[in-house]
Structure 1
Amino acid sequence: MQDWSPVLISFMLFILLSPGLVFQIPGKSRTIECGKFHTSVVSILIHTIIFFALDAFFLVVVGVRIEFGSSS
């Protein structure tokens, strides 16, 4: 069996934390903007830091395991 948790968790966090897709920190005119599809270098750096912090938290600290395959 293979552990698919790093792939799935990283993929979901990448989609959710893409700057400008769901939300953007910091926004152009506000602290948080939702669904603007605009981005800046600062927001890319902040979203990158949040992504790696959450990814490390779920994979290393919590130790989430998702296994697919037969148990034979």
Structure 2
Amino acid sequence: MSDWGPVVIGLVLFVLLSPGLLVQLPGRHHLVEFGNLKTSAVSIVVHSIIYFALITLFVIVIGVHITTGD
């Protein structure tokens, strides 16, 4: 059996937390900006910290498992 939980969680969080794609924290002109497709070094660091916290929560603490195989 294969455990696809960490892969799926990582992919979904990567897409949702890409700075500037859906939301950007902090924005260039406001605290939160939506869909501006621009980024800064500060927002990359903030999104990386949020990504690390959520991936740790889902994979290690909660232990999400999606198994496939026989």
Same fold (TM over 0.5): yes
Residue 52 of structure 1 corresponds to which residue in structure 2? 52
Q: Which amino acid aligns with 1:48?
A: S
Residue 34 of structure 2 corresponds to which residue in structure 1? 34
Distance between the aligned counterparts of 1:3 and 1:38, measured in 2? 35
Long gaps (5+) in structure 2: none
* 1:8-27 → structure 2 map (5 Å cutoff): 8-27=8-27
For residue 49 of structure 1, report the CA deviation from its aligned partner: 0.3
For residue 68 of structure 1, report the CA deviation from its aligned partner: 1.2
Larger radius of gyration: 1
Distance between the aligned counterparts of 1:68 and 1:19, measured in 2? 32
Long gaps (5+) in structure 1: none
Runs of 4+ in 1 over 3 A off after TM superposition: none
Equivalences, count: 70
